[in-house]
A and B are shown apart, each in its own frame.
Chain A
Amino acid sequence: MSGLIDLTAAQAAERIRAGKVAAADLFEAYRARAASDQLNAFTWVAEAAPQTGDGANAPLGGVPVAVKDLFCTEGVPSQSGSKILEGYRPPYTATVVAKLRDAGAPLLGKTNQDEFAMGSSNENSGFGPVFNPWDRSRVPGGSSGGSAAAVAAGLAPWAVGTDTGGSIRQPAALCGIVGLKPTYGACSRYGMIAFASSLDQAGPLTRDVTDAALMLRHMVGHDRRDSTSLDYPGEIEVPRAEDLKGLRLGVPEDLTGAEGGIEPGVRESFEATLAVAERLGASIETCRLPHAPHALSAYYLIAPAEASANLARFDGVRYGLRVDGDKDLVTMYSRTREVGFGAEVKRRIMLGTYALSSGYYDAYYGTAQKVRTKITEDFKTAFERFDFIVTPTSPCTAFELGAKTDDPLAMYLNDFLAVPMSLAGIPAISIPSGLSDGLPVGFQLAGPAFSESRLLDAAHALERAIGFDGSKPRQ
């Protein structure tokens, strides 16, 4: 069986199509591993392979996919990592999950996450933390921590996550796998339990760049149920590039300078990767994104503000938890939310409500939206001179469980290098660039809107040249 687990999703799909591997065997191999998960990566695992055909003729060949808890999946627990939705089984399925299923990737299980995707360590889950498969005393990153840990540990061939301010890229970096946040609007948000609607995007977490391209190809596209989703221009292509000849990479000194708090080991791996890129033919220059250092502040106003509105729906009336007593309606709402939400979610609801409240709206939310305009313009200017902007994905490698739980601000600073791209709505990919003290480091490339195929191509060339070995946590 271990031979099956060593295949990437693309390789497995190819063998299934060639009749060398049975889809049901592959499903069962992963199902058994997911069911005996020691990392708390899964919140639900399928009991058996789906009965409706084996997907062997579909493009994704029947290779099963792990899906972040916050995607609604019909009849299957979809709790967004929150006690307020414990046991909730939605009556419908998110568009992205349905598209993957229809393309031949059946649901393997639901993965643990920070509650309502709010967190950078997966310690905010209502269902317990996830452990990093490289070192179980450490966090996997967040908020798609279960998805990242499951892929890194070979409990799933690949997984779907969501990224609002780094929630695909940062856990991918900390777990030594590939994670891609697409252009805002590339994938439908229908059926994703919303955190911050102007930022949330679904994307792949995979073992390599080819798998990311393959999965993304079957995720994108306009959906009449999400008016912010767009027709993707062209098709996501399978990456083939082996060099970076003629590509101009910009290193934004405003992010990679002292303020970013980049650890020495991360910086070392980043610089080694820049040298690899240069060897592959890329030119590398420093560039400016003058407003990017303010992205974190703008993000921590915009995202909580949108969250405070989105999470108003959890009120004990239509689904999920209700804490009653024999009191009036408002008391029922307030007690239900007090008991059902965890500390970080309450903190962000409070922050967002404050930022939107009478007398503060212009000073906080309005200002943050103007900063967002400046950040978007900074990227546009940079992309006139550069094909891609490159940074480390996360300033640090996987930290120990509990290391940052008492200091919300320290936790937020993990997102310093990831949120500028989120605010600008542009695609960004994280690939493993090496190890620092035995822990994976991520390298981030960001491109203009809808540049995913080119981004994947460049990441593919780098991946080949770096030759990162991610097999250790699968043993």
Chain B
Amino acid sequence: MLDRDQVLHVARLARLDLGEQEVARMAEELSNVLDHIEKIRELDLEGVPPTSHVIDVVNALRADDPEPSLPRDVILAAAPEPLHDGFGVPSPGAA
């Protein structure tokens, strides 16, 4: 059902650099799972509202009380490339 091009398209959206073998395996495995899942499309769901949150909560608000953030050095301690008090990354334009 899912072909190679579709797998590559989705992998690009998901930012996954799948290997050649993974692409083939993913096409097969996802197709099998989707075949099973397809059955729900046979149900009559005309006029049924979607549920995104099961427990009835509407507009959970709280007071906007500022609190101190974690110190910058504590946050940057876990970063792969701390740079000038920020997160260093490769250039978006580099090739």
Contacts and interface: CB of A to CB of B under 8 A. Distances in A.
Interface string B49-65: 11111110100101000
Interface residues of B, number: 54
A460 interface: no
Interface in B13-32: 13-19, 22, 26, 29-30, 32
A297 B54 contact: no
A91 B62 contact: no
B7 to A, nearest CB: 7
A317 B80 contact: yes
A338 B16 contact: yes
Name the residue in B52, B53, B57, B89 with the highest tally of chain A Cβ atoms < 10 Å from its Cβ: B89
A332 B26 CA distance: 22
Contact of B89 (A198, A321, A329, A366): A329
Contacts of B29: 347, 408
A248 interface: no
A371 B43 contact: yes
B33 A367 contact: no
Interface string A209-248: 0000000000000001001101000000000000000000
Contacts of A364: 37
Interface in B27-47: 29-30, 32-34, 36-37, 39-41, 43, 45
Contacts of A425: 54-55
Nearest to A88: B78
A185 B55 contact: yes
B81 interface: yes
Given A227-B60, A369-B50, A297 B39 contact: yes
Interface stretch (A150-158, A350-358, A428-436): A350-358
A370 interface: yes
Contacts of B32: 408-409
A227 B51 CA distance: 17
Contacts of B70: 91-92
Name the residue in A329, A332, A354, A369 with the highest tally of chain B Cβ atoms < 10 Å from its Cβ: A354
A350 B54 contact: no
Nearest to B63: A224
A357 B16 contact: no
Contacts of A256: none
Interface stretch (A29-37, A98-106, A372-380, A394-402): A372-380
Given A91-B70, A184-B55, A332-B89, A370 B45 contact: yes
A240 B78 CA distance: 47
Interface string A397-431: 00000000000110010000000000111000000
Interface of B: 2, 6-7, 9-11, 13-19, 22, 26, 29-30, 32-34, 36-37, 39-41, 43, 45, 48-55, 57, 60, 62, 70, 74-75, 77-81, 87, 89-95
